[in-house]
Amino acid sequence: MFNFEHKEYLWLLGLIPVWVVLFILQHYRRKRDLRRLGNPTLLTELMPGFSPFRRGLKFSLLMLVIGLIIVALAGPRFGSKLTQVKQNGIDIIFALDVSNSMLAEDIKPNRLERAKQELSRLLDRLDENRIGLIVFAGEAYTQIPITNDYLSAKMFLSGITTEMVSRQGTAIGQAIELAVRSFSSASEAGKALVIISDGENHEGGIEDAIKKAREKNITIFTIGMGTGEGVRIPLNNAYNRDYRRDKDGNFVITRMNEQMLVDIASEGKGRYYRANMPDMGLNNILSELEKLDKAESETKVYTEYEQQFPGLIWIALALLALESILLERKNKWLGSIHLFDRLKRNVQ
């Protein structure tokens, strides 16, 4: 399939017909001015080196060069390709809490959106590492299996909402067990699990899950979203600002369970970070991840389109070089020209 990445540049091609019209008008105006000076046939003999054909050819080459550059700027892309890439990194799975309590606004704009923003920035810095994404509330689901396709990962990350998991709760234990199963046992790369949660209303089973992670040499980091102070949970209602209530009509208050997240990181041989840090502690986690053992792996990266503009640029440069050395005057080496022979015969 063929298309253009930046179609808006193609509108510039409309300038070429305008230049052609102006060139033609200038050509006829020049002929008109020559007729005013005298007999055109005689004037042609007086200017034997001038070549209208060469002048038109130079102009045509210049228009072709401009057209090729415009098309190249539009980013022509054709087909698809699958390339083999060697990478040297580790395997990282991010487990993101999507329970309703993550909508609390004690961290702006809210806990979930802040986590997504910082994760997106971190993905831009992970380079050769392979990543995966798990979402969890009362249950845990694999959103993205281990991959090096960062573009798809960021796309899926942006679409995460609290509505993805209908059952409410904070099943951190289930998320850890799912992560353990998701890591490849054949990979020799270091393995890390980064849990981002407020830790509230956990479902249990965490101790056994952490034990399984340790057996697989998986380091667990935790990031606590929220504060210890109780805050209300807003509803996703654009027309009427309200907050979640229990069955008795009282506001539901959410508090981060920091101690539990500290314990998980400690048992998982990792570290705990609080999200009220400027970057949610992700810079520190990145430094810790760099200490894990890296392993080389070969993976296939799918590129949807193969860029075609380099070829157009080279053709344009070649034509531009030809246009620059082509003179509007005739080349004296192409043939001998007897300049004033006919004029002398007329005088005689």
Question: Both ends of the chain: CA-CA distance in Å?
Answer: 71
> 155 and 231 share a domain?
yes
Between the CA of residue 284 and those of 202, 221, 343, what are the distances in Å?
Answer: 26, 11, 90
pLDDT band for position 339 (50/70/90)? very low
Render pLDDT for 281-300 as a digit per residue (tens, 0 to 9): 788 888 898 888 887 766 65
Q: Is 227 helix (H, G, I), strand (E, B) or coil?
A: coil
> 143 and 224 share a domain?
yes
| Containing structural domain, residue 139 | 83-301
> 134 and 39 share a domain?
no
Least confident of 49-63, 173-187, 238-252, 280-294: 49-63
> 30 and 99 share a domain?
no
> 207 and 285 share a domain?
yes
> 236 and 157 share a domain?
yes
Where among 301, 317, 332 does a domain terminate? 301
> 66 and 47 share a domain?
yes
Tokens 């910082």 appear where?
118
pTM higher than 0.75, yes or no? no
Greatest extent of the chain over all pairs of C-alpha atoms, in Å: 122
Q: What are the start-end ranges of the H helices in the chain? A: 15-37, 40-46, 52-73, 111-123, 150-158, 172-182, 206-215, 258-267, 282-289, 309-325, 341-347
Per the structure, the count of domains in the chain is 2
> 117 and 235 share a domain?
yes
Share of the chain above pLDDT 90, in %: 32
> 116 and 231 share a domain?
yes
> 69 and 90 share a domain?
no
User: Of 72, 76, 53, which Cα lies nearest the Cα of 64?
Assistant: 72
Q: What phi and psi, each to the nearest 5 degrees, are found at residue 199? A: 70, 10
> 75 and 90 share a domain?
no
The residues with which 300 forms a beta bridge, in sequence order, are: 84
CATH assignment at residue 216: 3.40.50.410
Mean pLDDT of the chain: 81
Q: How far is CA 341 from the centre of its chain?
A: 70
> 164 and 21 share a domain?
no
What 3 state SS string does 173-195 have?
Answer: HHHHHHHHHHCCCCCCCCEEEEE
Where among 285, 301, 317 does a domain terminate? 301
| Per-range mean pLDDT, top range of 93-102, 143-152, 221-230, 303-312 | 93-102
Least confident of 52-66, 73-87, 102-116: 73-87
Least confident of 17-26, 286-295, 304-313: 304-313
